[in-house]
Structure 1
């Protein structure tokens, strides 16, 4: 029964190939647009998730305060208001996982005939734990290197590539501001941060080495910023309050006075970026879904025209014994075939378009099985929904009136 009706539906559509193709085109465009937009949106979400993951989880940055010179107010981090002792005190607070004081700067680095300007951070061994940063080769420096202000360095992937090329940097010597340093390890790749900065374009050296032998500092033990990792996301608010209270007490800041430091919640910023990307992905999918609606309206329009043109045929079928449900099923199958075939072609074009976008623009795209199934299911539902009314109209025609129709 179904096989016979499918054959009749296929034959009826074949009698008007161009019209069938144009009707199907709406579904092809709609499905391909949905798959492509969802792939791009989910790719953007993945890129943001990877950037957030590369930063580390449950992170705060405590910045030293600003200063005023000649009436000019400098930005945050300009005044030496934070110290290593502040970091050690923060580490004793409940809810703290890791703490890493940092003294950042920029320096020209030289190896042989190659040179490169990069960020050189003076850090403690705990910095790798705070940032969840592994090593690709070599080993990290230890607390003994920190106490002795040893000239050792960990290279980011970008620095290692630009200075050493394919050569293994571990064990080699390079110069940072004309001071010799031994490369003890190479950091694993991190990629770009949320602000587009290359996290691999960096060198890590012991904090004491940076303070005493590279940058120098007027105030013993002062640092520009402190990275703090909380034990869990639920502890973030409590940790921020306790850190603020502790630093105000240590810096002897009276009630009503402004802080000489600032605390930034990187996790909140990352969550905001992730939510923005998620909303963008949903918006892209919603916009593309409009074309599915247009395709469904096109199917209903053409099926209504088909019912009008085949009114006499319907009357003959009823006269020789076709039941109302047979007519309904035949026209409904025609709408479903148009919708499903158009959906399959649209899926192929959408997946192909997503792959092309990835190779041409190097934009991350994610073609998930769920997005394909959703697009296919919605397209089939649209075909059934918009095909039902014309099929019902055909099935309810009066046989006598249908036979008289010219």
Structure 2
């Protein structure tokens, strides 16, 4: 038989049993749909994580007190970072463009009859540009206000919404832990980052936070933005050397601080996200294999039902190859069509899930092509045995089959 005739016969056979063909494809549809959905959501989560890390600041090095994750020491409980450390880093480490000492805490915020608890960040005037914060309304605090420990605050939009509702917050006084602060600016929204909501906080001069609000003489962390073109590892090594010397840490002793490199942090997070996405997609791909087994079972039944037809075709000149191709194409068409329907279902499913989750779905062309290729491969793999069985039938036995 001619090639196109073989395909035509295969399609005619599938259309003659529409319901059975659809049920055979169902496993492939579900499998491909699940794979596409998981990959889309995984890529969406990865993109969101990268956007959030980028929003934390470019070329950022974060110095924190304590050895994070070692011997139970937590950075929040250590008091080894001082203002003098920040000044030494700025003066002695080549390659630092901007630096901000940071103290952090939380407090009770009050305006009129509205109360809420929120984060308090004490930083220098450089803190906002280092962390890519944009003042949408009003202004940031000034160097002069830092020097005189002024009680001024830049609020996140979520904090403003809860405290002021529809009222303009600029130049209004609020109480933070009972102390009056004037609102001088409102940040542009960044969105909740899961582990921290940058839209729900007050940023004040670090001098004010240390002396008047939190009552501490140590820093929570030191944020450093490197100059363009600087090598992160080299700048980090210089910073470590300065701090080890200042803290009188002997060779072989562990640091009493840790420095986080945002590039390394981003790489770690992305690798974790990719691993998680791969695991989810692998679990979803199992249903593809189940769908392939379903196709093989149906094809075996089909071969049995059409034994006499196979015998007749062989009797009038059809070769084993023609029979093999015909049944193989039937399996391939079912899996390929199931793959296409699965892609549509997967894209729709990913969009639907994204509406009710905190991260978007990102459907990549490579994911679609991979799913279609895999579904076609499943069809060929699981369709080969029934097709071969049909091709090897003896025409005499096939014609006498009841």
SS at match of 1:223: coil
Matches within 5 A, 1:141-220: 141-193=141-193, 196-217=195-216
* Structure 1 gap ranges (5+): 67-72
1:233–1:119 Cα change, 3 Å:
farther
**Contact 2:24–2:295 (CA under 8 A) maintained in structure 1:** yes
Shift of 1:27: 1.2
Counterpart residue number, 1:27: 28
Q: Tell me, in whole angstroms, the C-alpha distance in 2 between the residues paired with 1:42 and 1:250.
A: 44
Q: Where in structure 2 are there 5+ consecutive unaligned residues? A: none
What residue is the counterpart of 1:69 in the other structure? none
Matched, 1:240 2:236: yes
Give the Cα separation in 2 of the matches to 1:172 and 1:312.
90
The answer (yes or no) to whether the contact 1:36–1:353 under 8 Å persists in 2 is: yes
**SS of the residue 1:9 aligns to:** helix
Distance 2:356 2:80 in 1: 48
Deviation at 1:64, TM superposition (A): 4.2
Query: Where do 1:65-80 residues align within 5 Å?
Result: 76=75
What is the CA distance between 1:126 and its match in structure 2? Answer: 1.2
Q: Equivalent residue of 1:197, what SS? A: coil
Change beyond 3 A, Cα 1:174–1:18: same
Cα 1:383–1:139 change in 2 (3 A) is same
Do 2:139 and 2:184's aligned partners in 1 also have CA atoms closer than 8 Å? yes
The correspondence of residues 347-358 of structure 1 with structure 2, limited to 5 A, is: 347-358=343-354
* Equivalent residue number for residue 306 of structure 1: 302
Tell me if structure 2 keeps the 8 A contact 1:114–1:163.
yes
- Distance in 2 separating the partners of 1:78 and 1:323: 80
Which of 251, 262, 265 is the equivalent residue of 2:257?
Answer: 262
Instruction: Report the RMSD for the aligned CA atoms in angstroms.
Output: 3.1
Seen in structure 2, the aligned counterparts of structure 1 residues 152 and 322 have a Cα distance that, compared at 3 Å, is same
**SS of residue in 2 equivalent to 1:328:** helix
Secondary structure of the corresponding residue to residue 153 of structure 1: strand
Deviates more, 1:268-277 or 1:329-338: 268-277
1:80, distance to aligned residue in structure 2 (A): 5.1
> Do the aligned residues in 1 keep the contact of 2:80 with 2:257 (CA within 8 Å)?
no
**Distance in 2 between residues matched to 1:245 and 1:208, nearest whole Å:** 27
Change (3 A) 1:64 1:281: closer
Post-superposition shift, 1:90?
0.9
Match of 2:276 in 1: 280
1:297-346 CA deviation, whole Å, 9 max, x = no partner? 32233223322332321222233344544433322221122112222332
Residue aligning to 1:70? none
Secondary structure in structure 2 of the residue aligned to 1:402:
helix
| Alignment match, 1:106 | 106
Structure 2 residue 133 is the aligned partner of structure 1 residue 133: yes
The one-character-per-residue Cα deviations of 1:80-106 (angstroms, maximum 9, x if unpaired) are: 543333212212412334321012232
**3-state SS of 1:82 partner:** coil
> TM-score normalized by structure 2?
0.85
Aligned equivalent of 1:60: 61
Cα distance between partner residues in 1 of 2:276 and 2:79: 41
Asked if structure 2 preserves the Cα contact closer than 8 Å seen for 1:58 and 1:233, the reply is no
Helix, strand or coil for the counterpart of 2:231? helix
For 1:374 and 1:323, the matched residues in 2 are separated by 34
Query: 1:60·1:263 contact (CA, 8 Å) conserved in 2?
Result: no
Render the CA deviation track for 1:51-101: whole Å, top value 9, x for unaligned: 3223334443333469xxxxxx99645565433332122124123343210
CA positional deviation for 1:234: 8.1
| Structure-2 separation of matches of 1:173 and 1:102 | 23
Offset of residue 279 of structure 1:
0.4
Rounded Cα–Cα distance in structure 2 between residues aligned with 1:174 and 1:374: 56
- Deviation (angstroms), 1:162: 0.9
